[in-house]
């Protein structure tokens, strides 16, 4: 495969999913600690209390990333580690952890891509209303400023919020993620506040980092595709579904056009978010790049003139029950390239697949022959390459995930890692997908 020489080959993780050490060095509680403590929320009643023990094993994990030939690592900062109550008192030991991590990455020749928020909100802020409270835009901007002052002499790539759709709708309306609420109005208000917080954090990072900073957001997408691309009805169904697509309507449009989808606003009725004068200008200021997370697509047929989502029986599905469709990533990249008029560099900040793995040991030599995950990754990387050839400005690809980890409400029952983790011993083993990634990424070194 042909990629530009300076292409970013990265692996991604998030703090709560890998760090563990939830009670160490003054870390405050997060909404995920609380959620995991609530019976029935996590499928296997587990938590991120230990996870991959990355908080203690970060040196080895940096060596692991280096062994994959990756030239970039996307990680997230746990807000409650550095500000145990979300605002106010700073925990120096928390700052020191990320300080050392960043130094270690740079020494290993790996560029840090820091995400400020990947879902572990300090519990004290939830008690003050969390994302539903408009004040969170300022709490988040203060936290962003603290991190930019601490790491901004070495970190130049910043991501504000990971998947604000999950932060708002999945967590406040569907109730599947912390804080587990089911309220349409709250979800839409939270969505608006995530974007306001994103805009304010971009300003804070740019103002406080001592090196010129690149700042952007990470949005998730499930492109709407026709069930059968040769059937005009299905094509129409996908078009209609796209008009109501929440990922574009609630996130791409406000960030890049400065307004919410009129269809979604109208549909929301009294649940539409309250917007104050000046908000949309903060939300739609210049992004240095757009990070996009993509795992699957939605397939649509037409029924009584309306789009209905259907299962594509002919396709392969992952253990998450997500259809494998690399063409979705390709069309998404072309769409976002057009949406941003080619002026905003794109990064695939997450892409990967969960399948059950088998660790095979022969003579002390352990292997995981994860053919399906390998094929998934190569198929999506190839789809990315085709988009670049057609002119999309894609600067990098991050595999989700560096290693098996705590998959939120699915606990430890999903395996997205290209590195296998034995949770009893914390031993890491490169899967075949990691070996394939290493070969591809070798051109980056």
C-beta closer to ligand FCB: residue 17 or 189 = 17
Tell me the C-alpha distance between 202 and 213, whole Å. 9
Size of site (CB under 6 A) for ligand FCB: 12
Q: Is 293 in the site for ligand FCB (CB under 6 A)?
A: yes
Beta bridge mates, 72: 10, 111
C-beta closer to ligand FCB: residue 293 or 374 = 293
Q: Is 123 in the site for ligand FCB (CB under 6 A)?
A: no
51-89 as b/e, with b when 16 or more CB fall inside 10 Å? bbbbbebbeebbebbbebbbbbbbbbbbbbbbbbbbbee
Tell me the C-alpha distance between 84 and 121, whole Å. 10
Q: Which of 61, 111, 124, 163 binds ligand FCB (CB under 6 A)?
A: 163
Minimum distance, C-beta of residue 157 to ligand FCB, in the bound complex (Å): 17
Tell me the C-alpha distance between 187 and 183, whole Å. 6
C-beta closer to ligand FCB: residue 162 or 374 = 162
Q: Is 162 in the site for ligand FCB (CB under 6 A)?
A: yes
Q: Tell me which residues in 165-204 interact with ligand FCB (CB under 6 A).
A: 166
Stretch touching ligand FCB by CB under 6 A, among 19-27, 89-97, 161-169, 230-238: 161-169
Minimum distance, C-beta of residue 109 to ligand FCB, in the bound complex (Å): 25
Minimum distance, C-beta of residue 229 to ligand FCB, in the bound complex (Å): 26
C-beta closer to ligand FCB: residue 296 or 340 = 296
Stretch touching ligand FCB by CB under 6 A, among 37-45, 144-152, 299-307, 400-408: 400-408
CA-based R_g, the chain, Å: 21
Query: ω into residue 291 within 30 of 0, thus cis?
Result: no
Q: Tell me which residues in 346-385 interact with ligand FCB (CB under 6 A).
A: 350
C-beta closer to ligand FCB: residue 163 or 245 = 163
Where are the alpha helices (H) located in 134-261, listed in sequence order?
Answer: 136-151, 164-165, 171-172, 184-208, 232-243, 246-247, 253-257
The CA angle 210-56-74, to the nearest 5 degrees, is 45
Stretch touching ligand FCB by CB under 6 A, among 67-75, 96-104, 159-167, 189-197: 159-167
Helix (H, G, I), strand (E, B) or coil at 132: helix
15-44 as b/e, with b when 16 or more CB fall inside 10 Å? bbbbbbbbeeeebbbbbbbbbbeeeebbee
Under DSSP, the state recorded for 29 is P
Stretch touching ligand FCB by CB under 6 A, among 96-104, 136-144, 158-166, 305-313: 158-166
Beta-carbon contacts of residue 304 (< 8 Å; ≥ 6 apart):
none
Q: Which of 14, 115, 189, 261 binds ligand FCB (CB under 6 A)?
A: 14
Which residues are annotated as catalytic?
Answer: 163, 350
Among 245, 223, 221, which residue's Cα sits nearest to residue 293?
221
Helix (H, G, I), strand (E, B) or coil at 170: helix
Q: Is 318 in the site for ligand FCB (CB under 6 A)?
A: no
Q: Which of 9, 400, 412, 437 binds ligand FCB (CB under 6 A)?
A: 400
Minimum distance, C-beta of residue 408 to ligand FCB, in the bound complex (Å): 6
Neighbours of 97 (CB within 10 A): 23
The answer to whether residues 109 and 4 touch, using CB atoms and an 8 Å cutoff, is: no
Q: Which of 168, 220, 318, 385 binds ligand FCB (CB under 6 A)?
A: 220
The tokens describing 190, both together, are: 């939270």
Stretch touching ligand FCB by CB under 6 A, among 48-56, 146-154, 162-170, 387-395: 162-170
> What character string, x for contact with ligand FCB (CB under 6 A) and - otherwise, covers 324-353?
--------------------------x---
C-beta closer to ligand FCB: residue 265 or 375 = 375
Tell me the C-alpha distance between 381 and 329, whole Å. 9
Q: Is 61 in the site for ligand FCB (CB under 6 A)?
A: no
- With the C-alpha atoms ordered 126, 127, 128, 129, is the resulting torsion angle positive or negative? positive
Minimum distance, C-beta of residue 276 to ligand FCB, in the bound complex (Å): 29
Q: Is 30 in the site for ligand FCB (CB under 6 A)?
A: no
Q: Is 279 in the site for ligand FCB (CB under 6 A)?
A: no
Minimum distance, C-beta of residue 206 to ligand FCB, in the bound complex (Å): 24
Residue 379, H or E segment: helix 371-389
Minimum distance, C-beta of residue 166 to ligand FCB, in the bound complex (Å): 6
Residue corresponding to tokens 């971009």: 202
The answer to whether residues 191 and 166 touch, using CB atoms and an 8 Å cutoff, is: no
Q: Is 120 in the site for ligand FCB (CB under 6 A)?
A: no
Minimum distance, C-beta of residue 102 to ligand FCB, in the bound complex (Å): 21
Q: Which residues bind ligand FCB (CB under 6 A)?
A: 14, 17, 162-163, 166, 220, 293, 350, 400, 407-408, 416
């Amino acid at each position: 495969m042909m990629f530009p020489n300076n292409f970013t080959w990265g692996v991604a993780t998030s703090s709560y999913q890998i760090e563990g050490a939830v009670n160490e060095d003054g870390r405050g509680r997060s909404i995920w600690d609380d959620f995991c403590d609530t019976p029935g929320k996590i499928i296997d009643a587990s938590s991120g209390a230990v996870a991959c023990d990355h908080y203690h094993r970060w040196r080895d994990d940096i060596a692991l990333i280096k062994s994959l030939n990756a030239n970039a690592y996307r990680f997230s900062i746990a807000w409650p580690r550095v500000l145990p109550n979300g605002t106010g008192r700073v925990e120096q030991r928390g700052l020191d952890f990320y300080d050392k991590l960043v130094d270690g990455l740079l020494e290993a020749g790996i560029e840090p891509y820091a995400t400020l928020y990947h879902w572990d909100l300090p519990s004290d802020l939830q008690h003050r209303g969390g994302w539903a409270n408009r004040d969170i835009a300022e709490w988040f901007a203060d936290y962003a400023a603290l991190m930019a002052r601490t790491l901004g002499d070495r970190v130049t790539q910043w991501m504000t919020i990971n998947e604000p759709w999950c932060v708002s709708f999945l967590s406040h309306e569907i109730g599947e993620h912390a804080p587990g609420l089911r309220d349409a109005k709250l979800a839409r208000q939270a969505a608006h506040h995530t974007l306001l917080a994103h805009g304010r954090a971009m300003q804070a990072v740019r103002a406080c980092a001592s090196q010129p900073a690149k700042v952007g957001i990470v949005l998730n997408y499930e492109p709407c595709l026709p069930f059968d691309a040769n059937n005009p009805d299905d094509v129409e169904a996908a078009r209609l579904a796209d008009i109501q697509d929440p990922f574009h309507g609630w996130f791409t449009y406000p960030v890049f056009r400065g307004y919410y989808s009129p269809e979604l606003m109208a549909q929301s009725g009294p649940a539409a978010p309250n917007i104050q004068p000046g908000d949309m200008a903060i939300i739609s200021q210049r992004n240095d790049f757009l990070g996009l997370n993509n795992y699957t697509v939605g397939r649509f047929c037409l029924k009584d003139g309306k789009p209905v989502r259907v299962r594509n029986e002919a396709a392969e599905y992952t253990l998450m029950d997500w259809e494998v469709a690399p063409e979705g990533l390709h069309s998404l990249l072309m769409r976002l390239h057009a949406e941003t008029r080619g002026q905003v560099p794109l990064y695939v900040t997450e892409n990967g697949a969960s399948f059950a793995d088998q660790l095979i040991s022969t003579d002390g030599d352990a292997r995981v022959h994860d053919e399906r995950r390998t094929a998934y990754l190569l198929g999506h990387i190839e789809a990315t390459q085709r988009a670049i050839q057609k002119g999309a400005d894609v600067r990098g690809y991050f595999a989700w995930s560096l290693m098996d980890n705590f998959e939120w409400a699915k606990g430890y029952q999903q395996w997205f890692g290209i590195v296998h983790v034995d949770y009893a011993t914390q031993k890491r083993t490169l899967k075949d997908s990691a070996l394939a990634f290493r070969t591809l990424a070798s051109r980056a070194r």
